[in-house]
Amino acid sequence: MILMHGEIISSEMESKYLTGLYEDCIRTLARPGTVTAEKVINACDALYRRVKSGEFDALIMPVLQMSDISYERFADMARLFSKEELEYKCKMELGELTETLKSGIRRKRYPLGILFHIAAGNVDGLPAYSVIEGLLAGNINILKLPAGDNGLSVRLLWELVQCEPDLKDYIYVFDVPSADVGTLKAFARMADGIVVWGGDEAVKAAREMADVTTKIIAWGHKLSFAYVTESVTDAQLEVLARHVCTTNQVLCSSCQGIFVDTEDREVLEEIGRRFFALLQKANREMGRADMGMRGKNTIRLYTDMLEKPAGQTFFSADGVSVIVKEDNELELSYLFRNVWVKALSREQIVPVLKKHKNHLQTCGLLCKDEEREVLEDKLIRAGVVRLTDGNMSRTVAGEAHDGTYPLAEYSRIVEIG
């Protein structure tokens, strides 16, 4: 399905509607803007209340099951569509703009113009939310759906237009496969900015499609981890274990593994053993991960244990595992409640992690209060852009995304005089 001018249309009609898309966008840009942040916020709030009431559960539940995301986590993300959260987001990200400079020159904020969103398939990068961010900054939005969207984004954005009809010429959604490079390049040529969600290859492909005059706003795949000291308590580790089970490690902010501030192997294994017990407990209380993923990981873990890699200790049962490793490299875990544990003394934080630069996102820092300031500074200098406790995927209105504010990225400042 596609969405054009507020109407849901069969994908078979896509080529017909693509022909005049650029002209439609230009006509919208040429007339005085009818979209304001207030209209977008009110429409989102009305839609949020319907989502919260369970009206769209039949559409939402299959997507959550496919992504192995809990309904609790989805409800937390859906809250970001509420009026209170969006108003706070606009205040934090756009701030107060001084309209007259000392020289008498006027200054105003305007949208970039046309945004082309290349969405990712994970719930963390919910395509509809990417479009809403573009709308809040006043842009026309062209969305390429990810594979497996199952119609959720089209339906939510259509419902948004029903709440506020003035949005109909600012939202276009297409179900174009990634292999259709010609159509994607056509979208890219229309756009003032390309918003790309995905890994390095997706960002590289977007850069190759774009004209040199087109702005690229990349929200690439990230790696997140926990950093703990020997003083870490079971209560702190339990919050982290529940986070791992809630997100199944599939979000950019999910914990892939635990770095321990030590050079002592016995300390490392003891923390690995403690965390494994707490991960088992959270797994029992919260329900197991998807059977297919558990089966896949069981085979991988069994193969690893048979090969007995040097310096590795395995704790594995009930579909969860902790692997204590000898190296200190940041890496993706097996996902779905399988965590690595590695030694990384505080003196090595910057030299080891800095090489990962733009791939770093969240660190769950678990330590004593008196240790925190020193460790925060080292992790930030290494490139981490978000520090939390064990609840690493908590959502807070007004937070930066990967170190920058989306609404500022989707805007431009014009000075007149």
Among 145-149, 178-182, 184-188, the minimum mean pLDDT is found in: 145-149
- Please list, residue by residue across 129-140, b when 16 or more beta carbons sit within 10 angstroms of its beta carbon and e when fewer do: bbbbbbbbbbbb
Q: What is the pTM of this model?
A: 0.88
CATH class of 2-221+402-416: alpha beta
Identify the pLDDT of residue 229: 98
Domains of the chain, by residue range, sit at 2-221+402-416, 223-388
**pLDDT, tens digit (0-9, with 9 covering 90-100), for 125-169:** 478 999 999 999 999 999 999 876 778 889 999 999 999 999 999
Model confidence band, residue 190 (pLDDT cutoffs 50, 70, 90):
very high
223-388: CATH topology is Aldehyde Dehydrogenase; Chain A, domain 2 (3.40.309)
Q: What is the mean pLDDT of residues 307-334?
A: 90
What does the longest C-alpha to C-alpha distance in the chain come to? 74
Identify the pLDDT of residue 102: 72
Identify the pLDDT of residue 269: 97
Identify the pLDDT of residue 294: 58
Task: Please check the confidence at residue 241 and state whether its pLDDT lies above 60.
Answer: yes
Q: What is the mean pLDDT of residues 333-356?
A: 96
d(CA 9, CA 89): 32
Q: What is the mean pLDDT of residues 171-187?
A: 92
Q: What is the dihedral of CA 386, 389, 393, 397, to 10 degrees?
A: -70
Identify the pLDDT of residue 291: 62
Q: Which uninterrupted H or E stretch holds 4?
A: strand 2-4
Say if residue 87 is exposed, middle or buried (CB neighbours under 10 Å; 0-12, 13-18, 19+). Answer: middle
The pLDDT > 70 percentage for the chain reads 92
Identify the pLDDT of residue 287: 84
**pLDDT, tens digit (0-9, with 9 covering 90-100), for 42-63:** 999 999 999 999 998 888 888 7
Q: What is the mean pLDDT of residues 316-329?
A: 93
Task: Please check the confidence at residue 272 and state whether its pLDDT lies above 90.
Answer: yes
Model confidence band, residue 93 (pLDDT cutoffs 50, 70, 90):
very high
Task: Name the more confident of 308 and 112.
Answer: 112
**C-beta separation of 139 from 114 below 8 A:** yes
Model confidence band, residue 65 (pLDDT cutoffs 50, 70, 90):
confident
Task: Please check the confidence at residue 186 and state whether its pLDDT lies above 70.
Answer: yes
Identify the pLDDT of residue 99: 65
Among 55-69, 180-194, 240-254, 263-277, the minimum mean pLDDT is found in: 55-69
Task: Name the more confident of 362 and 250.
Answer: 362
Q: How many CB atoms lie within 10 A of CB 190?
A: 19
Task: Name the more confident of 66 and 201.
Answer: 201
Q: What is the mean pLDDT of residues 362-366?
A: 98
Task: Please check the confidence at residue 297 and state whether its pLDDT lies above 70.
Answer: no
Model confidence band, residue 290 (pLDDT cutoffs 50, 70, 90):
low
Q: Indicate the average pLDDT of the chain.
A: 90
Q: What is the mean pLDDT of residues 388-413?
A: 92
Q: What is the dihedral of CA 148, 203, 256, 380, to 10 degrees?
A: -140
Identify the pLDDT of residue 18: 84
Identify the pLDDT of residue 106: 85
Among residues 139, 133, 41, the alpha carbon closest in space to that of 93 is found at 133
Q: What is the mean pLDDT of residues 19-28?
A: 94
